[in-house]
Amino acid sequence: MTPYLIAIAVIAVVFVLPAWIGFLREEREARGELERAEAAGRREPVSIRPAVDTSRCMGSGACVTACPEHRVLQVLDGQATLVNASSCVGHGACVRACPTRALDLVFGSERRGVDLPELGTDFQSNVPGLYVVGELGGMGLIANAVQQGVQAAGQLMKREWTVPEGGVDLVVVGAGPSGIACALEARSKGLRVELLEQGTFGGAIRHYPRAKIVMSRGFQLPGQKRVGGGSLSKERLIEILSAAIADAGLKVAEGERVEAVARQDDGSFEVRTTKRTLGAGRVVLAVGRRGTPRRLEVAGEESQKVAYRLLEPERYEHRHVLVVGGGDSAVEAALALSEQRGCRVTLSYRKAQITRPKQANVDRLDAAVAAGRVQLELQSTVLEIAADRVRLNTEAGERVVPNDHVLVLAGGVLPMAFLHATGIRLKRHFGRRVEDVA
Ligand SMILES: Cc1cc2nc3c(=O)[nH]c(=O)nc-3n(C[C@H](O)[C@H](O)[C@H](O)COP(=O)(O)OP(=O)(O)OC[C@H]3O[C@@H](n4cnc5c(N)ncnc54)[C@H](O)[C@@H]3O)c2cc1C
Ligand code: SF4
């Protein structure tokens, strides 16, 4: 063999072979992830998702590397492929990273239409005086939500309105980033504002897994310093929102869910909440897309020991906790609780298998169950919640489990029926195809 051929053979063994093996391993992993996502129903988007123009994509994988979420995209057969579509929150990092401009962001898919309100560029819906901002309008991300909240407040000031007797200029429904930004901006312009929140201020941010690093674009809340892009913990973000609310002297009416918004003959609005009826000149809906937490509708659910999210796992040391649900939130909560000293966790799920969460969460749950840290009750439903126990209906018959707390993490009821009732027109988005909603 000539030295030339030897050199080629060495290069092949040292460089090409490992690269080829690596490529095959990645391809195998990507295919496995695709199968798991398919089985778990994660291939359909919640709202926004990247669409790949296959005639332009050359499989560089830049989008896969750029996306900060869990394996939304993978390269398969030399092309970017949407795998865990439901994990996409619309950073758009993939679109910016693609060297051939093969990606853009769309709503919904051919199989799953996503309903979005029809809005003007001023965020006003077809109901005059009724505005929609933030994720409910389709665009995710904290920075977008804040920007839209501020812009909508500016836009609505351009038209006149009538304030009903005893009412306020503006009711903002939902105290997530968009609602808070909107209320702050309107207040800074001298408007009388009511900010109503069914839970606690903070919106979707409160539901991130604890201390999740938020890869946010920079944003600026009215009257506050600019917050730079990059990494930020969830706790820090809540502190920033809290300080902005306190500095402006803004009150958030927490624990008050808005149940109906009706336009009156004089163009003002009647807003009915779980606690009162309010008059308003203008209404901004900033209710996000997570909806209202789904309830179990069983005896004892009104008890103080029932909660719909996990905030501080440390509070549950030496407690018996029942977690209900089978998605990422429920599994992550069960795992976080299982790490607390003396905490006895039971996870109840109505189906025969847990497939919906990310694979990493499923693997961690399997390990926790095998180690006896989580008691898994599949094909079970809650029958009754009592002071010191819960009754479950299981395949093996009725079971009574000692209990101090119940966490219901079974998803949310989407706000579309609520929107429909306000008279707002919706459009159904199937990726690039859009239809009217009857
Ligand atoms: C797991 C996860 C990870 C994410 N990661 C990132 C990230 O890294 N970076 C980023 O920028 N964005 C991220 N996002 C997206 C971002 O959090 C949202 O886009 C943003 O919070 C939307 O703000 P919003 O104000 O429109 O709605 P939300 O934050 O959803 O707030 C809506 C508020 O309205 C309230 N509400 C709903 N209905 C009613 C009613 N009828 N009456 C009264 N109140 C009501 C809700 O309780 C809620 O507090 C993530 C989202 C999730 C779920
Ligand atoms: S839009 Fe964001 S979350 Fe969605 S795939 Fe692109 S980078 Fe990932």
User: Are the beta carbons of 63 and 103 closer than 8 angstroms?
Assistant: yes
Average pLDDT over residues 282-290: 93
The residue that leads in pLDDT, 229 or 435, is 435
pLDDT at residue 247 in the model? 97
pLDDT confidence tier of residue 232, bands split at 50, 70 and 90: confident
Residue 83 has pLDDT above 90, yes or no: yes
User: Are the beta carbons of 408 and 325 closer than 8 angstroms?
Assistant: yes
Residue 304's SS3 state is: coil
Pocket flag, ligand 2, residue 140 (CB < 6 Å): no
Taking the CB of residue 436, how many other CB atoms lie within 10 A of it?
Answer: 9
Q: Torsions phi, psi of 369, nearest 5?
A: -70, -45
Whether this model's pTM surpasses 0.85: no
**By CB neighbour count within 10 A (0-12 exposed, 13-18 middle, 19+ buried), where does 99 fall?**
exposed
Q: Considering only the top CATH level, what class is 3-112?
A: alpha beta
Pocket flag, ligand 1, residue 181 (CB < 6 Å): no
Domain 306-411 has CATH 3.50.50.60: yes
Residues 398, 415: Cα–Cα separation, whole Å: 34
Which residue has tokens 């649900």? 325
Residues 356, 36: Cα–Cα separation, whole Å: 9
From-to residues of CATH 3.30.70.20 in the chain? 3-112
User: Are the beta carbons of 181 and 149 closer than 8 angstroms?
Assistant: yes
Question: In Å, how far from its chain's centre is CA 395?
Answer: 32
Candidate from 80-84, 171-175, 215-219, 269-273 with smallest mean pLDDT: 215-219
Pocket flag, ligand 2, residue 80 (CB < 6 Å): no
Atom of ligand 1 nearest to the CA of 205: 17
List the end-to-end C-alpha distance of the chain, in Å, as a whole number: 76
Q: Tens digits of per-residue pLDDT, 333-360?
A: 999 999 999 999 999 999 999 988 888 8
**d(CA 63, ligand 2 centre) in Å:** 8
- What ligand has the least distance to the C-alpha of 328? 1
Residue 325 has pLDDT above 70, yes or no: yes
pLDDT averaged over every residue in the chain:
91
Residue 3 has pLDDT above 80, yes or no: no
Residue 216 has pLDDT above 70, yes or no: no
Residue 160 has pLDDT above 60, yes or no: yes
Pocket flag, ligand 2, residue 72 (CB < 6 Å): yes
**d(CA 375, ligand 1 centre) in Å:** 31
Pocket flag, ligand 1, residue 257 (CB < 6 Å): yes
Pocket flag, ligand 1, residue 146 (CB < 6 Å): no
Residue 209 has pLDDT above 70, yes or no: no
User: Are the beta carbons of 173 and 245 closer than 8 angstroms?
Assistant: no
User: Are the beta carbons of 405 and 308 closer than 8 angstroms?
Assistant: no
pLDDT confidence tier of residue 5, bands split at 50, 70 and 90: confident
From-to residues of CATH 3.50.50.60 in the chain? 115-291+414-436, 306-411
Atom of ligand 1 nearest to the CA of 215: 8
pLDDT confidence tier of residue 228, bands split at 50, 70 and 90: confident
- The CATH homologous superfamily for domain 115-291+414-436 is FAD/NAD(P)-binding domain (3.50.50.60)
**d(CA 66, ligand 2 centre) in Å:** 8
Which residue has tokens 């209990």? 403
List Cβ neighbours of 406 (8 Å cut-off, separation of 6 or more). Answer: 303, 305, 306, 307, 321, 322, 324, 382, 385, 390
Q: Tens digits of per-residue pLDDT, 38-64?
A: 877 788 888 899 999 999 999 999 999
Residue 210 has pLDDT above 70, yes or no: no
Q: Tens digits of per-residue pLDDT, 67-80?
A: 988 889 999 999 99
Candidate from 91-95, 192-196, 208-212, 356-360 with smallest mean pLDDT: 208-212
Atom of ligand 1 nearest to the CA of 289: 30
List 389's β-bridge partners, or say none. 402
What is the helix (H) or strand (E) element at residue 421, kind and residue range? Answer: helix 416-422
Q: Which residues of 120-136 are buried (b: 16+ CB within 10 A; e: fewer)?
A: eeebbbebebbbbbbbb
Instruction: Tell me the chain's radius of gyration from C-alpha atoms.
Output: 25
Q: Which of 86, 141, 420 to mutate to test the pocket of ligand 1 (most atoms within 8 A of CB)?
A: 141
Alpha helices in 157-273 (DSSP H): 177-188, 234-248
